[in-house]
């Protein structure tokens, strides 16, 4: 079942429809409800390698639906400490629970101040309303 539209207040957002949940010096990344809805049911997740360095605004992987492929844009810089293997095996989990079970990677941030430049839920929703 597809999730209902939501943009949790505790997350930070990137304009390319990616989210970050900051937890100490680590962050969990994923794609927003809007992104998964635009793509449709996901059928493939091409994750980065654990240990890879990813850069803010850089591409760290891909997700694909039947119709389209979409780059994953990182909201923050850091090193990948964990890939959510569940999404590799069952990509549709992202559609069912984009902010929970549908997380994509966990990183160790290299510059915690970057989080301050991200959008809060209100600003991200305003951006969506303007599209």
Partner 1 sequence: MQTLNRTPLFEQHTALGARMVPFAGWEMPVQYEGVIPEHRAVRGDSGVFDVSHMGELEVEGPKAHAFLQSVLSNDLDRIEPGQAQYTLLTNERGGIVDDLIAYRLEVGRYLLIVNASNREADFEWLKERELSGSDVRDLSDDYALLAVQGPRSLERLGLDEAPAFTFAEGEVEGMECMVNRTGYTGERGVELMVPAEDGPALWDAVVGRGVTPAGLGARDTLRLEVCYPLHGNDIGPELDPISAGLGWVCALEKEFTGVSELRRVKEEGPDRKLAAFVMEEAGVPRQGMSIEGGGEVTSGTHSPMLDKGIGMGYVPTEQAEPGTDVTIDLRGRSRRARVVKKPIYKPQED
Shortest Cβ 90–partner 1 spacing (Å): 10
Exposed e or buried b per residue across 101-123, where buried means at least 16 C-beta atoms within 10 angstroms of its C-beta: ebbbbbbebeeeebeeebbebee
Tell me the C-alpha distance between 62 and 72, whole Å: 5
CA torsion through residues 50, 97, 120, 22, sign: negative
Among 16, 26, 46, 79, binds partner 1 (CB under 8 A): 46
Decide: is 24 part of the binding site for partner 1 (CB under 8 A).
no
x/- contact string, 57-96, with partner 1 (CB under 8 A)? -----x-xxxx-x------------------x--------
Residue 92 C-beta: closest distance to partner 1, Å: 8
Does residue 43 bind partner 1 (CB under 8 A)? yes
CA distance to 5, 41, 65, 86, per residue, from 37 (Å):
9, 8, 10, 20
Does 97 interact with partner 1 (rule: CB under 8 A)? Answer: no
Query: Which residues of the chain form contacts with partner 1 (CB under 8 A)?
Result: 2, 40-41, 43-44, 46, 62, 64-67, 69, 88
């Amino acid at each position: 079942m597809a999730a209902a539209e939501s943009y949790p207040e505790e997350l930070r957002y990137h304009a390319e429809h990616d989210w970050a949940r900051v937890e100490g010096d680590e962050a969990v990344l994923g794609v927003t409800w809007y992104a998964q809805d635009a793509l449709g049911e996901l059928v493939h997740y091409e994750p980065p390698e654990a240990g890879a360095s990813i850069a803010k605004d850089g591409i760290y992987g891909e997700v694909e639906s039947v119709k389209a492929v979409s780059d994953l844009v990182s909201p923050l810089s850091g090193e990948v400490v964990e890939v959510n293997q569940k999404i590799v095996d069952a990509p549709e989990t992202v559609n069912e629970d984009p902010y929970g079970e549908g997380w994509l990677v966990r990183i160790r941030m290299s510059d915690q101040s970057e989080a301050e430049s991200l959008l809060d839920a209100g600003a991200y929703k305003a951006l969506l309303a303007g599209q």
